[in-house]
């Protein structure tokens, strides 16, 4: 399998060089940017497979990069990296279109694995994000008066998706999940992608409000 071409976008130079050194053998790091505008231009010229994107950056953060690039290069995929775990940021960057979210404390091998998954079009959830999603979708269904979405399917998780998310939240790898649930890794991947889709397309206001409330506590 070809090594995925990766662009790093992070305002900490130290972090970029660290990731570049660690990932160097497993992915091809083709460029780095430290700010929103340069990142958008760089991604436009290099057209990488995956952009490793810091959630927090001066000038609009990861969200701004995703929104700008998605408009012109819809096939560039984003994996969000963050030190913060603040639900609001995580949900926002996912809803902007990132294919996954991992924390900066992730091990090198896991990060490389996550990059490959995102490059292949799959979704990657950190255990923390899996917890957030379970929490957000566990909230009571929209109260009366809130218009249900055009597609009720989008508004809740299937029990299988819940199972998968629970195991991710417990630190299981996709392979371990497949074994535990007696399904194939491919099926696990498709469950996670489907959760990602719901997360991005769900119209329930609660998702945003939930994240905002979490942030404020």
Partner 1 sequence: MHQRHQDWWARHHQHHDHHPGFLGRGSGDPLRRDLANRLGGGVAAGIAEWRGIGVTKVRIVFALVALVSSGIGVALYVLAWLFLPAKGEETAEEETSIAHKARTDSAGIRLAVGLASLLVVVLLAAGALNDGWFISWVWPQVFSVAGLTLIWRNASPEEQETLRHLVEPVGGAPAPGRTDRRTVLRLVIASVLLLGGVGWLFAGHESLAMLRPLAGVLLVLASIVLFLGPWWLRIARELVLERQARVRAEERSDMAARIHDSVLQTLALIQRRADDPAKVIQLARLQERELRSWLFEGRGLDEAEGDTTLTAGVRQIQQDVESRYGVPVEAVMVGDCDLDESLSALLAAAREATVNAAKWSGAGVISLFAEVEPGEVSVVVRDRGKGFDPSAVPADRKGVAESIHGRMTRRGGTAQVSSEPGEGTKVTLKMPRSGTASRSGSLGRT
* Interacting residues toward partner 1 by CB under 8 A: 56, 84-86, 127-128, 130-131, 134-136, 138-140, 166, 169-172, 206, 209-210, 213-217
Q: Considering the complex, what minimum distance in angstroms separates the CB of residue 61 from partner 1?
A: 9
Shortest CB 139 distance to partner 1, Å: 3
Nearer to partner 1, 25 or 179 (CB): 179
Nearer to partner 1, 126 or 194 (CB): 126
Q: Which lies closer to partner 1 via its Cβ, residue 2 or residue 217? A: 217
**Residue with Cβ nearer partner 1 (50 or 130):** 130
DSSP letter string, the chain = -PPPEEEEE-S-HHHHHHHHHHHTTTSEEEEEESSHHHHHHHHHHH--SEEEEES--TTTHHHHHHHHHHHH-TT-EEEEEES---HHHHHHHHHHT-SEEEETT--HHHHHHHHHHHHTT--EE-HHHHHHHHHHHHSPPPPTTSPPPS-GGGGS--HHHHHHHHHHHTT--HHHHHHHHT--HHHHHHHHHHHHHHHHH---HHHHHHHHHHHH-
Q: Least distance to partner 1 from the beta carbon of 167, Å?
A: 9
Shortest spacing between CB 148 and partner 1, in angstroms: 17
């Amino acid at each position: 399998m070809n090594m995925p071409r990766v662009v790093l976008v992070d305002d900490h130079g130290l972090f970029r060089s660290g990731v570049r050194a660690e990932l160097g053998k497993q992915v091809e790091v083709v460029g780095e940017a430290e700010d929103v505008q340069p990142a958008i231009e760089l991604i436009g010229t290099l057209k990488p497979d995956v952009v490793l994107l810091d959630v927090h950056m001066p000038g609009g953060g990861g969200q701004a990069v995703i929104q700008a690039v998605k408009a012109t290069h819809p096939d560039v995929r984003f994996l969000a990296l963050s030190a913060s775990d603040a639900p609001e940021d995580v949900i926002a960057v996912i809803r902007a279109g990132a294919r996954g979210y991992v924390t900066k404390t992730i091990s090198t091998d896991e990060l490389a694995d996550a990059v490959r998954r995102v490059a292949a079009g799959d979704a990657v959830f950190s255990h923390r994000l899996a917890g957030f999603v379970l929490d957000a979708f566990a909230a009571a269904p929209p109260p009366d008066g809130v218009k249900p979405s055009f597609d009720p399917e989008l508004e809740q998780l299937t029990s299988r998706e819940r199972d998968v998310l629970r195991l991710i939240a417990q630190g299981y790898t996709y392979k371990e999940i497949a074994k535990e649930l007696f399904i194939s890794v491919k099926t696990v991947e498709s469950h996670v992608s489907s959760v990602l889709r719901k997360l991005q397309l769900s119209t329930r206001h609660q998702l945003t409000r939930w994240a905002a409330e979490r942030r404020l506590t």
